């Protein structure tokens, strides 16, 4: 490796580190509200449904605008749009410090939703286009866990701070983190001239990349339904080996294990691993909500671990199943939109199943949905291999 190529490699590496940190900070801002739900109820007079809407407002915007945004972002340049996303996320985090009414919080969450959409499309697209080839799979696999890691960081921060700490001071910690990462992004990403899309290839109705959209939609549907109601089931059945707050940590653990695997294999392996991830989820689903009062913590952890493998495999498959950076960006936009839509549907569906047919039926429903997705993803991977 020449000195010039080594310099390019290092700049690419550090810029992708900055982009990855931006993802985690974006997830942190997304999960900012829920750890303080009861304080917002007592201090601001917000109802829990209102707090739920404040939390899901960002997801609603993703469900509506992600795919259209993915068709526009490449025309402005990926590096430029990553910086815009970082600046918008930081601006929203700063403005939230001063949001002391419902109207102000809604306005600020809309600002954050805009930054979130720009970031979740431009950041992984930047990794696809600019990451060192030998680390591309690792960065994409690690990117896939930005939401659970962000929520875990937010929950940890909420548990660490004293209960009497003023909410404005708490919001300022979130803002400082967002501003620091935004500065790192601006310093790390090159000021490149505006680049035209590398190919006219777009995501069309015959593209095999749609399997990733279907897979991520199914993943979002299963994961939100599981994690939304799993704490209630554990509370109902009594203390378990693993507390409700511990189980979601197995999602990034699954993503990290997938990243470790993909670092030693080709990108083509990722599309085949999607099927394995769904199969793990399917097996675990049948035992997550047992009829008898037994401890099913291992199966719930296995469900979360399978979610991490699945999400990592989906994002890592993007460069292998797309023909250009333009199609990759549009695929990521479609993935985000499908995930947003199914997250909005998944929790109400799970609640309906629990109310009408019981917890065991929910587990069985999830099991068959995951098993079906495993078959579809496996068939698509086999088709890809035979091409």
pLDDT digits (tens, 9 = 90+) for 210-220: 889 999 999 99
Both tokens of 71, joined, read 């068709």
Q: Indicate if 159 and 291 belong to the same structural domain.
A: no
Classified as helix, coil or strand, 97 is coil
Residues 6+ apart with CB under 8 A from 263: 134, 135, 137, 138
Whether 383 has a pLDDT exceeding 80, the answer reads no
pLDDT at 370: 94
Query: What pLDDT band is residue 174 in, cutting at 50, 70 and 90?
Result: very high
Query: Cα angle at 319 between 372 and 371, to 5 degrees?
Result: 10
336 occurs within a structural domain: yes
198 occurs within a structural domain: no
pLDDT at 385: 56
Rounded CA-CA distance 282/302 in Å is 10
Q: Indicate if 262 and 337 belong to the same structural domain.
A: yes
Q: pLDDT by residue (tens digit) across 259-287?
A: 888 887 766 788 889 999 999 999 999 99
Q: Indicate if 151 and 7 belong to the same structural domain.
A: yes
Q: Look at residues 153, 188, 223 and tell me which one is the last residue of a structural domain.
A: 188
361 occurs within a structural domain: yes
Q: Indicate if 292 and 378 belong to the same structural domain.
A: yes
Going 92 to 94 to 95 to 98, the CA torsion angle's sign is positive
232-253 average pLDDT score: 79
Q: Indicate if 19 and 166 belong to the same structural domain.
A: yes
- What CATH number is associated with residue 137? 1.20.1250.20
DSSP state of 100: -
- Domain extent at residue 244: 210-386
pLDDT at 306: 95
Rounded CA-CA distance 272/317 in Å is 9
Whether 198 has a pLDDT exceeding 60, the answer reads no
222 occurs within a structural domain: yes
**Higher confidence at residue 50 or residue 206?**
50
Buried residues in 265-290 as b, exposed as e (16+ CB within 10 A): eebebbbbbbbbbbbbbbbbbbbbbb
Q: Indicate if 358 and 286 belong to the same structural domain.
A: yes
Query: What pLDDT band is residue 293 in, cutting at 50, 70 and 90?
Result: low
pLDDT at 114: 94
Whether 348 has a pLDDT exceeding 70, the answer reads yes
205 occurs within a structural domain: no
pLDDT at 308: 94
pLDDT at 274: 92
Query: What pLDDT band is residue 292 in, cutting at 50, 70 and 90?
Result: low
**Higher confidence at residue 185 or residue 73?**
185
170-198 average pLDDT score: 83
Q: Look at residues 188, 221, 239 and tell me which one is the last residue of a structural domain.
A: 188
Q: Indicate if 135 and 239 belong to the same structural domain.
A: no
104 occurs within a structural domain: yes
pLDDT at 115: 95
Alpha-helical runs (H) found in the chain: 3-30, 37-44, 48-76, 78-96, 102-130, 136-143, 146-160, 167-188, 210-237, 250-262, 268-288, 297-321, 325-357, 359-386
Question: Which residue is it, tokens 């993803």?
Answer: 377
Query: What pLDDT band is residue 173 in, cutting at 50, 70 and 90?
Result: very high
234-254 average pLDDT score: 80
230-242 average pLDDT score: 75
Q: Indicate if 177 and 278 belong to the same structural domain.
A: no
Q: In the chain, how many domains are there?
A: 2
Q: Indicate if 337 and 256 belong to the same structural domain.
A: yes
Query: What pLDDT band is residue 294 in, cutting at 50, 70 and 90?
Result: low
193 occurs within a structural domain: no
Whether 149 has a pLDDT exceeding 90, the answer reads no
201 occurs within a structural domain: no
**Higher confidence at residue 39 or residue 96?**
96
Whether 199 has a pLDDT exceeding 80, the answer reads no
**Higher confidence at residue 41 or residue 97?**
97
pLDDT at 50: 83
Note the pTM of the prediction, 2 decimals.
0.85
Query: What pLDDT band is residue 387 in, cutting at 50, 70 and 90?
Result: low
Q: Indicate if 26 and 59 belong to the same structural domain.
A: yes
Q: Indicate if 315 and 366 belong to the same structural domain.
A: yes
Supply φ then ψ for residue 292, to 5 degrees: -80, 160
Rounded CA-CA distance 83/90 in Å is 11
Q: Indicate if 378 and 329 belong to the same structural domain.
A: yes
Report the share of the chain in percent with pLDDT over 70.
Answer: 91
């Amino acid at each position: 490796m020449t000195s010039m190529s080594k310099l390019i490699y290092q700049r690419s590496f550090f810029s992708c580190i900055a982009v990855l940190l931006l993802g985690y900070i974006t997830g942190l801002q997304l999960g900012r509200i829920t750890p303080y739900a009861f304080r917002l109820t007592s201090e601001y007079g917000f109802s829990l449904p209102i707090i739920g809407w404040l939390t899901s407002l960002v997801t609603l915007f993703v469900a509506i605008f992600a795919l259209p945004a993915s068709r526009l972002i490449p025309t402005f340049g990926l590096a430029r749009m990553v910086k815009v996303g970082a600046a918008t996320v930081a601006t929203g985090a700063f403005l939230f410090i001063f949001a002391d009414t419902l109207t102000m919080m809604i306005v600020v969450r809309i600002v954050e939703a805009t930054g979130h959409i720009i970031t979740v499309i431009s950041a992984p697209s930047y990794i696809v286009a600019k990451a060192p080839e030998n680390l591309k799979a690792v960065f994409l696999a690690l990117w896939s866990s930005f939401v659970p890691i962000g929520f875990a960081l937010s929950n940890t921060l909420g548990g660490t701070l004293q209960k009497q700490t003023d909410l404005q001071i708490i919001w300022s910690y979130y803002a400082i983190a967002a501003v620091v990462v935004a500065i790192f992004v601006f310093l790390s990403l090159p000021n490149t001239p505006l680049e035209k899309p590398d190919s006219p290839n777009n995501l069309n109705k015959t593209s095999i990349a749609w399997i990733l959209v279907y897979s991520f939609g199914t993943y979002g549907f299963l994961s939100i339904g599981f994690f939304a109601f799993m704490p209630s089931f554990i509370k109902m059945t009594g203390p378990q080996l693993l507390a409700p707050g511990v189980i979601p940590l197995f999602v990034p653990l699954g993503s990290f294990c997938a990243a470790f695997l993909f670092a030693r294999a080709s990108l083509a392996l990722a599309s085949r691993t999607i099927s394995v991830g769904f199969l793990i989820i399917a097996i675990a689903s049948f035992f997550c909500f047992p009829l008898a009062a037994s401890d099913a913590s291992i199966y719930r952890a296995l469900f979360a671990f399978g979610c991490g493998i699945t999400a990592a495999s989906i994002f890592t498959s993007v460069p292998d199943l797309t023909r250009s950076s333009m199609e990759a960006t549009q695929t990521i936009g479609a993935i985000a939109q499908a995930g947003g839509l199914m997250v909005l549907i998944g929790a109400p569906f799970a609640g309906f199943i629990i109310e009408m047919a019981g917890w065991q039926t929910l587990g069985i429903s999830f099991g068959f949905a995951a098993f079906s997705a495993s078959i579809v993803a496996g068939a698509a991977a086999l088709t890809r291999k035979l091409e």
